[in-house]
Structure 1
Amino acid sequence: MSLQIIKSASLFSKMKGQWNELYSELVFATPFQTWEWNFLYWEYFRGNKRLQIVKFEDNNRLVGILPLCIRCQDGLRILEPIGTRGTDYIHLLIKTASSVEILKRFVNWFDKNRFDLLNLEDIPETAPYLDVLIDTFRSNGLIVNYNKAYCPCYEIELPESWNDYLVSLSKRRKMDLEYHRRYALKHFSEVALIHRTVGEIKKHFELHQKARLSKNDVGTYTNQKVKEFMDEFARVTFDKGMLQIIFLSMDNVLTASILGIEDKNRRYNITIGYDPNYAKYRPGSLLYGYDIENCIIKGIDIYDLSRGSDSYKNALGAKKKYNARIVAARSNETIEKYLKNQRRYWDDKDYAPTAD
């Protein structure tokens, strides 16, 4: 098995075909592991970081990609994935059958190159390679801080019918959902779910910002670079048939929206928004209901609501799961220093704004 380090954007750009072929073979991988997300993220948010993609081939077959980069701060050389903090789900792209050998070689390479610390945030707790990675670090004499419940996330396992979904909800939530639909139809002649093209993404940005500002939050899309990144990612995923830009229309006024990605029979919602001027009609709740109903009709298996413990996720019948975090280094002192100052690291210019 060979190990190659990709350090230039030009070589990164040439990996698209084989990268996405590997992605398509990995059941656990999410759209955030596509070449498009990672390459665009690097292009927009690289800052002063240095590319350090670790590529593994076995008999000229690609079996693993670790999309990493180096960030230097407070004298530490920190190795972490592209997209850290701004990506709902981080994964290492590793074929399960090759995971032991890949991770053994990776840990040896990590140790040999004298990195100070490996920071893996937002790795889904169900990642099939987690235990192997932790055991391999420890067997090499490295210290590992493992937080299995680092960040709560939520998803809905969609049933075969809308009625089955309603049965799964609490009695109060079911009554609220039905009441909100009746109330909206009492005040508007038409309430409809509308799918739009990528050309409408600016309207989604606007609704997201309105919703966040109404809650005294700056919002994701106050940052122009984030808007440009998401706009470009939306365009490339639209061309691949993955993009979902969904609006709730009330008498032809767009009052709420969801920006999401669908792949491998799963929906991943990235950001949501609504117009606070229509808050009494519950446009966000209405949109979720109609959208979930539509996903059930389409045969979507999982409706992913991403990171964060928002109360509406429980109300929608979502199940809690967790992203894990692994921090590995040669000493407890280095790990303690990193964790103590992590909030300050998050505010550093080399961290992209989170897309929560």
Structure 2
Amino acid sequence: MNIGKASAVHIDIIETLPLLAELEDNWNAVYDADDEAQIFLSWKFLNGFLSHTPGPWFILAAKADEAADTPYVAFFPLRLQTTIKNSDVFHEIRMAGSGDYTGIVCRPEAENKVVPAFARCIRQMNWARFKLDNLRMSERRVRLLLACFPKAGFRSTEVDMVSKVDGIDLSLCPYVTLPNDWNGYLVSLSTNTRQKIRRLLKQVDTTGEYRITVATPETFAADLRTLLRFWEARWRSRKGDRMDGLVRSNGIMLTRSFQSGMLYLPTFWHGDRPVAALATLVDPRKRTFSFYMTGRDETFDGPPSGVILHAFSIRHAIENGFSEYDFLRGNEPYKYSFGCAERKIRPTVLEARNGRNLGGRIDPRGIPDVLRQATELHRKGQVADAEAGYRRILEIQPRHADALHRLGQLLAARGDFAAAKRLFRTLTTVRPDAAKAWQCLGQVCESLGQHEEALRQYLEFMRLQPDQPDGFVAVAKCMAKLGRMAEVNAALLAAIEPASAPSVRKWRDWRGLPDQPAAGEHSVSA
């Protein structure tokens, strides 16, 4: 997709994993050049996440021209969510990725042109809300992006990230810039913290009742189960019904990260009893450790396991040449004892002022989600919203077979047989070999009293599915209503000859009819 010559930027939209795979080297080159890039925007992490993401996602990829060999200079990962309510369909564009940070990957020298170009491209899409959740981006890039959404057409709201439960501000993200050596790091801490860390680590560095193991391919599955079991016990009361899904998705993500060499998972033991574990995402390209999740046995009353595991992980990071230990979102006080500075992320929501999708239509890439939701609403009896979903699909794809079929069924059930007939008629041209389409068309014709026309549709249904008893019954009923009882056998034979003589016998047996009607008798009673 080219957004215009004036911008001197060409934008392609990447929507499949094979195309994303082809971008790995190009993506990594841009990622390495971008000081704002972070692990959740790395190719390896994002590719793994998107491979397990249901629903439509897409990546805006920018370069200077349309030439195939021109490398991209920026990437903007996004996804589309759909809601049907109040008899309309609403799209929300969200940031793609799983984790505490989102953003754009961009070569610094290109951002002045690329970021506005991304914004203009997004404005051409069909959405009611654009949710820039967990946006970690410089003020400069944020201004470039938001400037393309003027107040006349859009509302911009910065999201309040302060938890109402414990007052933690999830927009504040503490991090430690790591020195070259462990002692240099300890010297930067307060005297009390420095002495505490030395004392605690001594307990796991020497042979005794406490120890720390680091997950290996052989122990990872068990270590992960320990972590998730402790984490679930701590948070289930707050997460409620979402917990099972969160445990499952975190398990998948952490397993994928470990297999990719992007996870550091130490477990703290008291003898043979695991009492805590900590998962940290490792970015070898940016040389960062990002603390992701911890869990501990709440009944353990020994040394503070969280302090021990963080200190152990920070020491490991320093010894292996890493430059940052990021505590990610949340200004919990304990984090600052490790010598943290903090950065602030700015989650923002943009909304169309009229509350409707831009352009007054749905986004084509959202059609599968719209159909799925409309079908479920239809099944639950919420027919106004279901009808809205089907009609929105047909506005942009008038020959969408499933939408034609399901809207036709909805209208027929409501008694609007003429409108249903038009839909089923179109459906038979879209799927001429679908027997169900002809059957539905026959049924609405019959409901309209158009028995001759209904008969033609039923005969086509029988031709496509000669073994279905419904077809025989429908044809017989139409013949009876047309007063053509003597023609029933001939019509049936004409419909199914020459291949389905056994079906005729099956039908006769099912109806309890003799092979040949007696002289002067009709073959089907009215």
In the TM superposition, 1:225-264 aligns within 5 A as 225-235=249-259, 237-238=260-261, 242-251=262-271, 254-260=274-280, 261-263=282-284, 264=286
1:284 and 1:205 mapped to 2: Cα distance?
16
**1:196 aligned partner:** 215
Instruction: Say which SS state the counterpart of residue 123 (structure 1) adopts.
Output: coil
Structure 2: unaligned runs, 5 residues or longer: 1-8, 162-169, 358-372, 374-526
Instruction: Say which SS state the counterpart of residue 234 (structure 2) adopts.
Output: coil
2:339 and 2:293 mapped to 1: Cα distance?
19
2:204 and 2:324 mapped to 1: Cα distance?
27
The number of residue pairs the alignment matches comes to 328
**1:224 aligned partner:** 248
Structure holding more helix per residue: 2
1:153 and 1:178 mapped to 2: Cα distance?
26
2:152 and 2:24 mapped to 1: Cα distance?
33
Quote how far apart the aligned CAs of 1:98 are. 1.6
Structure 1: unaligned runs, 5 residues or longer: 336-349, 351-356
Quote how far apart the aligned CAs of 1:266 are. 1.5
- Give the 3 Å change call, closer, same or farther, for CA 223–193 of structure 1 in structure 2: closer
Structure holding more strand per residue: 1
Instruction: Say which SS state the counterpart of residue 114 (structure 1) adopts.
Output: coil
Give the AA of the match of 2:134: D
Confirm whether residue 50 of structure 1 aligns to residue 56 of structure 2: yes
Give the AA of the match of 1:205: L
Contact kept, 8 Å, 2:104 with 2:137, in 1: the verdict is no
Aligned-pair identity in percent equals 17
1:15 and 1:255 mapped to 2: Cα distance?
42
Give the AA of the match of 2:60: V
Contact kept, 8 Å, 2:254 with 2:263, in 1: the verdict is no
Confirm whether residue 157 of structure 1 aligns to residue 157 of structure 2: no
In the TM superposition, 1:107-122 aligns within 5 A as 107-122=119-134
**1:145 aligned partner:** 157
**2:138 aligned partner:** 126
Give the AA of the match of 1:202: A
**TM-score under structure 1 length normalisation:** 0.78
Give CA-to-partner distance per residue, 1:237-288, whole Å, 9 cap, x none: 22xxx43233335556554333221322221122223344544222222122
1:181 and 1:30 mapped to 2: Cα distance?
29
**1:27 aligned partner:** 35
- Give the 3 Å change call, closer, same or farther, for CA 104–139 of structure 1 in structure 2: farther
Confirm whether residue 324 of structure 1 aligns to residue 324 of structure 2: no
Moved more, 138-147 or 88-97: 138-147
Instruction: Say which SS state the counterpart of residue 169 (structure 1) adopts.
Output: coil
Moved more, 307-316 or 65-74: 307-316
Quote how far apart the aligned CAs of 1:90 are. 0.7
1:223 and 1:111 mapped to 2: Cα distance?
36
**TM-score under structure 2 length normalisation:** 0.55
Contact kept, 8 Å, 1:144 with 1:329, in 2: the verdict is yes
Quote how far apart the aligned CAs of 1:67 are. 1.0
Give CA-to-partner distance per residue, 1:81-131, whole Å, 9 cap, x none: 212xx4111121122222222222222222222322211111125365222
Quote how far apart the aligned CAs of 1:182 are. 6.1
Instruction: Say which SS state the counterpart of residue 118 (structure 1) adopts.
Output: strand
**1:70 alignment partner, one of 67, 80, 93:** 80
Give the AA of the match of 1:153: C
Give the AA of the match of 2:283: E
- Give the 3 Å change call, closer, same or farther, for CA 211–309 of structure 1 in structure 2: farther
Quote how far apart the aligned CAs of 1:66 are. 1.0
Moved more, 250-259 or 20-29: 250-259
